[in-house]
Amino acid sequence: MTTKLETLPIQDKKSAGKPKNHRGPKRARESRGTLAFSRAARTKALTKHAILILAGGLMIYPLLWMVVSSLRSNELIFREPGLWLNSLEMGNYTDGWSALTHPFGHYMLNSAVVVLGSILGNLISCSMAAYAFARLQFTGKKLFFGIMLLTIMLPFHVVIVPQYILFSQIGWVNTFWPLLVPKFLATDAFFVFLMVQFIRGIPKDLDEAARIDGAGHPRIFLRVILPLMVPALATTTIFTFIWTWNDFFGALIYLTDPDMFTVPVALRAFVDSQSATSWGSLFAMSIVSLLPVFLVFLFGQRFLIKGIATTGIK
Amino acid sequence: MSAISELSSLAKRKAPVTAEEKKANGRDNKAAYIFLLPWLVGLVAITIGPMLMSLYLSFTDYNLLQPPEWTGLDNFIRMFSDARLHNSLRVTFTYVLVGVPLQLAVALLIALVLDKGLRALPFYRSVFYLPSLLGGSVAVAILWKQIFGTTGLVNQVLAMFGIQGPGWISDPSTALGSIILLHVWTFGAPMIIFLAGLRQIPAMYYEAAKVDGAGTLQQFWRITLPMLSPIIFFNLVLQIIGSFQSFTQAFIVSGGNGGPSDSTMFFTLYLYQKGFGQFDMGYASAMAWFLLVIIGVFTAINFIAAKYWVFYDD
């Protein structure tokens, strides 16, 4: 149930109840009827496509305009709502790249470290917890599972002040640890839940067979379950990537030294330092910052859609 | 199965414990807790510990430098007479109560159009979903700041029709509206959940309704809406919880100060200013608990109201 939603072909529902064409004398009449029907349907479909293209165009227009604007001179950005380009101005990109204390690549690298660490942390810790919840019987299981579900809905503001105090007292402010350590402790409970649901869909016979062959839980987990839950791991990887790459609040609080800035806080510093004077280079770096997310979107769409459709993570 | 339905069914479920299972319990406890170890450490150190700490701090005056000083209910009494806090509540409530229904309505509308067997579905779905993915980023908030600026894209388009638009973001009466629009723009994620829900409605219901002579609108009110109500409910709960915690957009669009004249001072933004701007940690903790209570009350109202309008098939 959890994973099949998106793989259903679109036409299934429509054709399911319909009787097949009868042969014989009725056939001619019927096909005429179908023809008339299909003409009406075609007009309807065309209207629909027109509406959707219009709405979709409106949706992505701002994004396209930002891409185009990043290649325009500043004066043109304030005058030109259209999308055509007379000349390519790469100056915005070179200016933006070196506008802050460090070249922009430095912040990209910082973000990459945080993102990769977070992905690793979430994959290890969440899959372990999920295995226990999905496959093992233990005292307090229901209570813990309930708590885990509740933590999904807990606003982070309730814990952020003491967390900050804790991490600042250990001396971890302006390090990546406050952003990474929680990931290794399965605090993104959404993924634990996602993986529990996925493991529940894996036939139990497989682990029982492995157990009969003398495998213990670590072995069953590593050799049987993990290889089978690759789709869930992929979804987790992709969402962790996007969330962490975009994370502003955590980075804003913990990373105050420009050396340690991740991309979102660097962009914010850019806004503060230049205000509205150089939209061109600001847009250029915004595009650079969105590019990794966009690429992940292109290649990971299938997992993204599934993840949202089944658990509501976005 | 979704997190919400899982939660609501948690209370009802009672598995009988057989002697055999008890034996299995004994066998798995050790392994289970080892697998759960990261999550348990996280729960104690990153979630429950800080929650208790924040509850304690909410009754104190604490600025990080001197030890916390117990002040009883002072922080909560202060909240009663804090006009800026009242304003931030009004801003946040407006954002949630206008933005969430509007976003869900658009999401449902587009999902309905997309559901009817379109050829290019994956393409449209991607176009409508992309803003959802990028919407939380600093880059898009920067884009929004320009689009609704005095010389921004919106006013450039309006100027083509000879209209002189206001400075949307610098005008207190329209600033919040621009941020709400940004929220509505990111309707892609709930749209995908709606699409998945629409797929699950059996086609035979529509076939039967057609035989009985029901029109499109009647089918929508009598079949689609009731059958989709659990999904609407799920989206509603999720979006409300998430919207109360919005931060990045308001922070970037307003330049971090909730302006103009506090018209975009979200509750979370004010909390950030108190806690991490003025290091008034006690007050910030009290605010965080207040936010938790507000979200809890809204979620509870949702669950209670759901009894009257959410229809379960089973």
The C-alpha atoms of residue A301 and residue A122 are separated, in whole angstroms, by 20
pLDDT of residue A24: 41
The secondary structure element, H or E, covering residue A218 is helix A217-219
Tell me what the mean pLDDT of segment A32-56 comes to: 78
Is residue A7 predicted with pLDDT exceeding 50?
Answer: no
Distance (Å) of CA B167 to CA B70, B155, B174: 46, 8, 8
Query: Which of residues 135 through 194 in chain A touch B, CB cutoff 8 A?
Result: 136-139, 141-142, 144-166, 168, 181-182, 184-187, 190, 192-193
The C-alpha atoms of residue A242 and residue A260 are separated, in whole angstroms, by 19
Q: How many CB atoms lie within 10 A of CB B287?
A: 29
Inter-axis angle of helices B121-134 and A279-311, nearest 10:
120
Lookup: tokens for B233: 């409910």
pLDDT of residue A10: 34
pLDDT of residue A11: 35
pLDDT of residue B239: 95
Question: DSSP characters for A80-108?
Answer: --S---SS--THHHHHHHTSSSS-HHHHH
Q: How big is the A-B interface in CB pairs under 8 Å? A: 295
Residues of chain A found within 8 Å of residue B41, distances taken between Cβ atoms: 185
User: What's the pLDDT band for B287 if we cut at 50, 70, 90?
Assistant: very high
Is residue B218 predicted with pLDDT exceeding 80?
Answer: yes
User: What's the pLDDT band for A35 if we cut at 50, 70, 90?
Assistant: low
Q: Do A137 and B64 touch (CB under 8 A)?
A: no
Mean pLDDT rounded to a whole number for chain B: 90
Inter-axis angle of helices B138-147 and A26-69, nearest 10:
90
Tell me what the mean pLDDT of segment A204-232 comes to: 94
Is residue A153 predicted with pLDDT exceeding 90?
Answer: no
Is residue B310 predicted with pLDDT exceeding 90?
Answer: yes
Say yes or no: A210 contacts chain B, CB-CB below 8 A: no
Is residue B67 predicted with pLDDT exceeding 70?
Answer: yes
Query: Which of residues 86 through 105 in chain A touch B, CB cutoff 8 A?
Result: none
Beta partners for residue A207, in sequence order: none
pLDDT of residue A28: 43
Lookup: tokens for B173: 């009466």
User: What's the pLDDT band for B27 if we cut at 50, 70, 90?
Assistant: low
Do A140 and B33 touch, CB atoms closer than 8 A?
no
Say yes or no: A195 contacts chain B, CB-CB below 8 A: no
Please state, for a pLDDT cut of 90, what percent of chain B lies above it.
81
Lookup: tokens for B232: 């609407």
pLDDT of residue A75: 85
- Tell me how close the Cα of A35 comes to any Cα of chain B, in angstroms: 18
Tell me what the mean pLDDT of segment B260-269 comes to: 95
B248: amino acid identity, one letter: T
Is residue B39 predicted with pLDDT exceeding 60?
Answer: yes
B61: amino acid identity, one letter: D
Residues of chain B found within 8 Å of residue A248, distances taken between Cβ atoms: 136-138, 247-248, 251
Beta strands at B69-70 and B60-61: parallel, antiparallel or unpaired: antiparallel
Lookup: tokens for B14: 């009672």
- Tell me how close the Cα of A119 comes to any Cα of chain B, in angstroms: 15
> What pTM does this model have?
0.88
pLDDT of residue A19: 41
Q: Do B146 and A193 touch (CB under 8 A)?
A: no
Is residue B3 predicted with pLDDT exceeding 70?
Answer: no
Which has more pLDDT, B35 or A40?
A: B35
Give me the phi and psi of B61, to 5 degrees please: -110, 120
Q: Do A165 and B53 touch (CB under 8 A)?
A: yes
In sequence order, which ranges of A70-175 are alpha helices (DSSP H)? 74-77, 91-97, 104-135, 141-153, 157-169
Which has more pLDDT, A5 or B92?
A: B92
Q: Do B118 and A11 touch (CB under 8 A)?
A: no
- Tell me how close the Cα of B292 comes to any Cα of chain A, in angstroms: 7
- Tell me how close the Cα of B154 comes to any Cα of chain A, in angstroms: 8
Q: Do A62 and B147 touch (CB under 8 A)?
A: yes
pLDDT of residue B11: 47
Identify the CA nearest to A196 among candidates B10, B313, B299, B12: B10
Is residue B7 predicted with pLDDT exceeding 90?
Answer: no
pLDDT of residue B187: 96
pLDDT of residue B314: 60
The C-alpha atoms of residue A180 and residue A99 are separated, in whole angstroms, by 28
Lookup: tokens for B292: 């938790």
Is residue B250 predicted with pLDDT exceeding 80?
Answer: yes
Q: Choose among A139, A162, A246: nearest Cβ to B137.
A: A246
Please state, for a pLDDT cut of 70, what percent of chain A lies above it.
87
- Tell me how close the Cα of B293 comes to any Cα of chain A, in angstroms: 10
Is residue A36 predicted with pLDDT exceeding 50?
Answer: yes
The C-alpha atoms of residue A251 and residue A265 are separated, in whole angstroms, by 7
Interface probe for B, chosen from A157, A265, A303 (most Cβ of B below 10 Å), is A157
Q: Which residue of chain B has the CA closest to A165?
A: B64
Q: Which residue of chain A has the CA closest to B116?
A: A10
pLDDT of residue B119: 77
Q: Do A311 and B2 touch (CB under 8 A)?
A: yes
pLDDT of residue A45: 82
> Could you report the per-residue pLDDT of A106-124, keeping only the tens digit for each?
999 999 999 999 999 999 9
Interface probe for A, chosen from B18, B59, B66, B138 (most Cβ of A below 10 Å), is B138
Residues of chain A found within 8 Å of residue B199, distances taken between Cβ atoms: 5, 8, 13
Is residue A272 predicted with pLDDT exceeding 90?
Answer: no
Tell me what the mean pLDDT of segment A194-206 comes to: 94
pLDDT of residue A22: 39
Do B82 and B267 touch, CB atoms closer than 8 A?
no
Question: DSSP characters for chain B?
Answer: --HHHHHHHHTT------HHHHHHHHHHHHHHHHHHHHHHHHIIIIIIHHHHHHHHHTTEE--SSSPPEE-TTHHHHHHHT-HHHHHHHHHHHHHHHHHHHHHHHHHHHHHHHHHTT-TTHHHHHHHHHHHHHHTTSHHHHHHHHHHTSTTSHHHHHHHHTT-----TTTSHHHHHHHHHHHHHHTTHHHHHHHHHHHHTS-HHHHHHHHHTT--HHHHIIIIIHHHHHHHHHHHHHHHHHHHHT--HHHHHHTTTTT-STTTT--HHHHHHIIIIIS--HHHHHHHHHHHHHHHHHHHHHHHHHHHHH-----
Interface probe for B, chosen from A161, A295, A308 (most Cβ of B below 10 Å), is A161
User: What's the pLDDT band for A311 if we cut at 50, 70, 90?
Assistant: confident
pLDDT of residue B10: 54
Q: Which residue of chain B has the CA closest to A183?
A: B42
The C-alpha atoms of residue B223 and residue B220 are separated, in whole angstroms, by 6
pLDDT of residue A312: 78
Is residue B15 predicted with pLDDT exceeding 90?
Answer: no
Q: How many CB atoms lie within 10 A of CB A144?
A: 20
Please state, for a pLDDT cut of 70, what percent of chain B lies above it.
90
Helix, strand and coil content of chain A, in percent to the nearest 5, comes to 75, 0, 25
The C-alpha atoms of residue A64 and residue B63 are separated, in whole angstroms, by 46
Lookup: tokens for A121: 């942390």
pLDDT of residue B8: 56
Tell me what the mean pLDDT of segment B262-289 comes to: 96
A134: amino acid identity, one letter: A
Q: Which residue of chain B has the CA closest to A273?
A: B255
> Could you report the per-residue pLDDT of A66-99, keeping only the tens digit for each?
999 999 988 888 888 888 888 888 899 999 999 8
